[in-house]
Amino acid sequence: AQKVTQAQTEISVVEKEDVTLDCVYETRDTTYYLFWYKQPPSGELVFLIRRNSFDEQNEISGRYSWNFQKSTSSFNFTITASQVVDSAVYFCALSEMGRGAQKLVFGQGTRLTINP
Partner 1 sequence: DAMVIQNPRYQVTQFGKPVTLSCSQTLNHNVMYWYQQKSSQAPKLLFHYYDKDFNNEADTPDNFQSRRPNTSFCFLDIRSPGLGDAAMYLCATSYGTGVDTEAFFGQGTRLTVV
Calculate the dihedral angle through the C-alpha atoms of 41, 43, 49, 50, rounding to the nearest 10 degrees: 150
Task: Return d(Cα 15, Cα 107) in angstroms, integer.
Answer: 25
Helix or strand or coil: residue 85?
Answer: helix
Site for partner 1 in 3-32 (CB under 8 A): 31-32
Question: Measured in Å, how far apart are the chain's first and last C-alpha atoms?
Answer: 41
- Can residue 84 be called a binding residue for partner 1 (CB under 8 A)? no
Q: Tell me how far, at minimum, the Cβ of 90 lies from partner 1, in Å.
A: 11
Task: Return d(Cα 71, Cα 105) in angstroms, integer.
Answer: 20
Which CB atom, from 15 or from 96, has the smaller least distance to partner 1? 96
Among 58, 103, 113, 115, binds partner 1 (CB under 8 A): 103
Among 37, 66, 68, 77, binds partner 1 (CB under 8 A): 37
Q: Tell me how far, at minimum, the Cβ of 35 lies from partner 1, in Å.
A: 8
